[in-house]
Structure 1
């Protein structure tokens, strides 16, 4: 199987009004794809549609396949969110330690021995490029981390689930230039062995990180399929 996620004419609607789409894309194993377009075009909405987390009142139609399996809209597929993990634009850091945050997702969805949890956390923190900075402070409150470290901690929390794909929503938009560069290094290191879909308002960032780009356009009276470059 070459593709992790395939969508065919995915649309998000509010009643009879089409807000986003149709979007057809294929995300292959180990590829990094950028989702670009003007502000308000619905890039983040596409990410939420892929993990079936649309706000009440919005509906998704069209086909979405994950690892060859068709994902039905609003069917309560909790397992979906361990296969495709959305990392939001604003890093969500929970109360508790750095380690608690790193294993938060995996601890709640799978039965894993404590020792194995620690190993999984270390692996994920290494993959997110954060291990060297926090290995001596795993028991420290996660709230003490910098903004860039928090973003990478959220990335590690997602990676600990060993997902089939990561959806990153503007992962550096709230960061200074130095923190942005560090987060970009972590995302770039995933290339080739993690499937990643990135929403970014920065064309230069998309060019640096992505193999291909899917460009969304503003809705008109006749919707147009997203262009892939």
Structure 2
């Protein structure tokens, strides 16, 4: 399979001090890769570095390619955040309806008719495993959704952008067991169809969901390409 993302010697820096890295790995098209390691190793920081969302004062260096195109650090890239989309650990639900939330990214990044946008949202909600639960109440406030439904809504919002890769940061860590299982089913359904990089503190979850792992050790990082199964 072709590589959707290629990372070479990525480091995250605080001034001249290396906080994370160097790390090297590739994400093959349609694969689900687990990003694992102890607390403080920099798993979430790696995800944020890939989409240029590092906290103020931190910088990154190294080489990043997305779909074969080099991404230059520090110069911005207007299309990067719709090509590689980060779904954060805590679901971000805005004021407004379920439909408004699902449309949020599309309205800001895609020019299309409302009918076309709604069709894309419907497909994304189906792919995220949420459509059957909300199809008859799309105009109700998103705040009425459960925690697990909110996480799947955020997943759908990302999928609606049709990204080259999804970065999932601990998508089930704040959920109860039943909600966790439901979100895992949605993530599992993406295997072979979407390119996913999954941060998880749970080795068993990585075993269930991922094709291979990248293992982070603090303060250095070692990339492993052994299958997770």
Shorter-chain TM-score tier: over 0.9
Q: CA deviation at 1:226?
A: 2.9
Matches within 5 A, 1:206-217: 206-217=206-217
Describe how 1:78-227 pairs up with structure 2 within 5 A.
78-219=78-219, 223-227=220-224
Q: Does the CA contact (< 8 Å) of 1:35 and 1:197 recur in 2? A: yes
In structure 2, how many angstroms separate the alpha carbons of the residues matched to 1:30 and 1:74?
Answer: 29
- 1:42-89 superposed Cα distances (whole Å, 9 cap, x missing partner): 000000000011111111111010000111112121200000000000
* Matched residue, 1:67: 67
Describe the SS at the equivalent of 2:46.
helix
Cα offset, 1:224, TM superposition: 4.8
Segment of structure 1 superposing worse, 194-203 or 73-82: 73-82
Whether the aligned pair in 2 keeps the contact of 1:51 and 1:85 (CA below 8 Å) is yes
Length, aligned pairs only: 226
Structure 1 length-normalised TM: 0.97
Would you say the 8 A contact 2:215–2:222 is kept in 1?
no
Aligned alpha-carbon RMSD (Å): 1.0
Deviation at 1:117, TM superposition (A): 1.2
- Which runs of at least 4 in structure 1 moved beyond 6 Å after TM superposition? none
CA distance in 1, matches of 2:98, 2:104: 10
Q: Deviations over 1:189-216 (max 9, x none)?
A: 0000100000000000000000000000
